[in-house]
Structure 1
Amino acid sequence: MRETRLDTARIRAARRMIDPVFLDTPLYRCEALEPVLGCAVSIKLETANPVRSFKARGTEVVASLLAEHGSPAVVCASSGNLGQALAWSGRRRGLDVTIVASRFATAAKLDRVRALGATLELVDGDHETARDRAAAIAHRDGIRLVEDSLDIETCEGAATIGLELVDAVPSFDAVLVALGGGALATGVGHVVKASAPDAEVICVQPLGAPAMAHSWRERRVVTTGPVDTIADAVAGRRPIPAVLDDLLLVADDAVLVREASIVTGMRMLLDHAGLVVEPSAALGLAAILEDRERFAGRHVVTIVCGSNVDVDTYHRWVGAAFADESRRCRDD
């Protein structure tokens, strides 16, 4: 039987490199959501930390190893969350950090990267353009390029979420994981399949950024055109072959969801759980909303993976969801 690139012993060792502020995050049944969704829902909350996303679990491992080997600097491309996390982890260890991002990325995320002391270079174009530029900087300056999901440290750092999940929940039927580059999905999936093989690992991606989901379905890398989604944290176009190979081994399904369902999921997390989340963190709820029969009566875990939003934009999104819900109630 083929194995993923991940190693459970390394994942357990990774916990020792990660600042405790990012570990043992809240995991709880959200009973307020259950009558609305028709299934038992547990939330694994990855936003209550200094960078408000799960990404620092991976960057803590990367930065620890770089500092241990005396590396002075590091560069990565990011839509915002990885950049914040690497800036935080690098600053803590005295690394010079450069983040390359699209100038169209969420302004609040870019502001936070700057505030954390990283050098921020903006490029015209999308995240794939930023990836190319970051690779060019690494080659020019002879420094470490961090490639999210390709670098195994990012996957094994994210996999520590899976360790906490299987250790804390005696049984669950499915875990819903946001699917972008694949670090979170392959990391959590690796651990769940090793420890709770009967549980489904279901990856969720927006219809407007479907490259990895299409690649999983066709069992080959599928590159797509321009993305069209509010879920910027998962909006890649060029899947990484090695990451897809891992995903094919651990994912039971890869589903695509509509933008309206993502926004409704964000509104539900605000109304029923008191959580302000970014669109990628609502992908799990969006999947339930679009296929209620599949999850009816089951115990589902959803990973709330980030909460870095532009406040004004967030209010427009959830306000529109509230207005749509009010219209539906009147029509009924």
Structure 2
Amino acid sequence: MGESRLDTGRIRAARGVIDPVFLDTPQYRCEALEPELGCGVSIKLETANPVRSFKGRGTELVASQLAEAGARAVVCASAGNLGQALAWSGRRRGLDVTVVASRFATKAKLDRIRALGAELELVDGDHELARERAAAIAQYEGIRLLEDSLDLETCEGAATIGLELMDGTPTFDTVLIALGGGAMATGVGHVVKELAPDIDVICVQPHGAPALTRSWHQRRVVTTDSTNTIADGVAGRFPIPEVLDDLLLIADDAVLVQEQSIITGMRLLYNQAGLIVEPSAALGIAAILENPTRFADRNILTIICGSNVDLPAYHGWIGVH
């Protein structure tokens, strides 16, 4: 096995760069979830910040470095949450931010990107086409391309969540982490495994977007022709080789869950915890629902990673009107 790209020293230093508004998010045992799930459940609420997702931790590092270097602009591709975070961090530091997204992305996310002052370009395709277009803009304009999960700042920014999870004596034996591009899974997993190797790190992806999970199991990059999931935040088709290498170092397992389990998880979080979450944030709960025997009597922590949803779609999923 190779060495991780991530460095715990840099991750600790990152806490001094990231705006405190993104740090030290609520973390608590959620007993109301436990009767239906059959295990101890704690949640880390990464939605309690101005962009309602964990992505601001990484974009703060990127925007800070660019501002210090005198850069004027940055571009990224985003399913929505990274774009919001980069728009927020860039605006704060006087950077011109361009976000490329699929026109089929969640409307609430696109509206918020515009509201935060970024230039938004839409493509007639999925997130992978947006990635290609963002790279072309960066090359043409000679500006920084921020690539989520490939760029270490996004992973090490997310990894500061892991430092907070491990502050004090952990009350959990398993962490369930949503798996998309891999920044959060590799970042949090790196810190957890370095500080408490016995804690299980389990990554969760939808059956409708299984590329990185398949890659982990086969120990090589596996791509897919399409995705089909309501969990738009994790719907990638082309895993990044460097990210897979990091994931192989820290993940104890990677599992796939059904769409109905994601919806049931969202409903549970709404009814029992009072939380409106996007589908990606319910993946950990979905994993418990699909394999209750595996998690019975264990103490689970899952990261609620985003809450940017179109309310009409959300109401349809969970049956609240």
* TM-score above 0.5, yes or no: yes
1-structure distance, mates of 2:251, 2:301: 15
Q: Deviations over 1:54-90 (max 9, x none)?
A: 0000000000011011110000000100000000000
Give the equivalent residue in structure 2 for 1:148.
148
1-structure distance, mates of 2:97, 2:200: 37
Opposite residue 114 of structure 2, the aligned amino acid is R
Q: Deviations over 1:226-264 (max 9, x none)?
A: 100000000000000000000000001000000000000
For 1:154-173, what aligned pairs fall within 5 Å after superposition? 154-173=154-173
2-structure distance, mates of 1:233, 1:15: 25
Give the equivalent residue in structure 1 for 2:246.
246
Give the equivalent residue in structure 2 for 1:26.
26
2-structure distance, mates of 1:30, 1:99: 36
Aligned to 1:130, what secondary structure does the other structure show?
Answer: helix
Opposite residue 156 of structure 2, the aligned amino acid is E
Aligned to 1:120, what secondary structure does the other structure show?
Answer: strand
Deviation at 1:168, TM superposition (A): 4.2
Give the equivalent residue in structure 2 for 1:193.
193
Opposite residue 111 of structure 2, the aligned amino acid is D
Give the equivalent residue in structure 2 for 1:328.
none
Report runs of 4+ in structure 1 exceeding 6 Å deviation.
none
2-structure distance, mates of 1:78, 1:3: 28
Give the equivalent residue in structure 1 for 2:40.
40
Deviation at 1:209, TM superposition (A): 0.2
Opposite residue 24 of structure 2, the aligned amino acid is D
Deviation at 1:171, TM superposition (A): 3.6
Unaligned runs of 5+ in 2: none
Task: Establish whether residue 257 from structure 1 lines up as the match of residue 257 from structure 2.
Answer: yes
Task: Establish whether residue 115 from structure 1 lines up as the match of residue 106 from structure 2.
Answer: no
Deviation at 1:2, TM superposition (A): 3.1
Aligned to 1:91, what secondary structure does the other structure show?
Answer: helix
Q: Deviations over 1:212-231 (max 9, x none)?
A: 00000000000101100000
Opposite residue 141 of structure 1, the aligned amino acid is E
For 1:1-332, what aligned pairs fall within 5 Å after superposition? 2-319=2-319
2-structure distance, mates of 1:168, 1:34: 23
2-structure distance, mates of 1:84, 1:210: 25
Aligned to 1:76, what secondary structure does the other structure show?
Answer: strand
Deviation at 1:281, TM superposition (A): 0.1
Q: Deviations over 1:261-299 (max 9, x none)?
A: 000000000011000000000000000000001110010
1-structure distance, mates of 2:276, 2:112: 17
2-structure distance, mates of 1:168, 1:228: 40
Opposite residue 317 of structure 2, the aligned amino acid is W
Aligned to 1:17, what secondary structure does the other structure show?
Answer: coil
Aligned to 2:300, what secondary structure does the other structure show?
Answer: strand
Aligned to 1:167, what secondary structure does the other structure show?
Answer: coil
Opposite residue 2 of structure 1, the aligned amino acid is G
1-structure distance, mates of 2:252, 2:212: 14
Q: TM-score, normalised by structure 2?
A: 0.99
Task: Report the aligned-residue RMSD.
Answer: 1.0
1-structure distance, mates of 2:220, 2:180: 16
1-structure distance, mates of 2:239, 2:44: 26
Unaligned runs of 5+ in 1: 323-332
Aligned to 2:170, what secondary structure does the other structure show?
Answer: coil
Opposite residue 238 of structure 2, the aligned amino acid is R
Number of aligned residue pairs: give it.
Answer: 321
Q: TM-score, normalised by structure 1?
A: 0.95
2-structure distance, mates of 1:161, 1:169: 15
Opposite residue 241 of structure 2, the aligned amino acid is P
2-structure distance, mates of 1:122, 1:186: 29
Aligned to 2:15, what secondary structure does the other structure show?
Answer: helix
Give the equivalent residue in structure 2 for 1:325.
none
Deviation at 1:11, TM superposition (A): 0.2
Deviation at 1:172, TM superposition (A): 1.6
Aligned to 2:242, what secondary structure does the other structure show?
Answer: helix
Kindly indicate whether the alpha-carbon contact (under 8 Å) linking 2:209 and 2:229 is maintained by their aligned counterparts in 1. Answer: yes
Opposite residue 11 of structure 1, the aligned amino acid is I
Deviation at 1:169, TM superposition (A): 4.5
Aligned to 1:54, what secondary structure does the other structure show?
Answer: coil
Cα separation, partners in 2 of 1:171 and 1:5, compared to 1, 3 Å:
same
2-structure distance, mates of 1:118, 1:20: 22
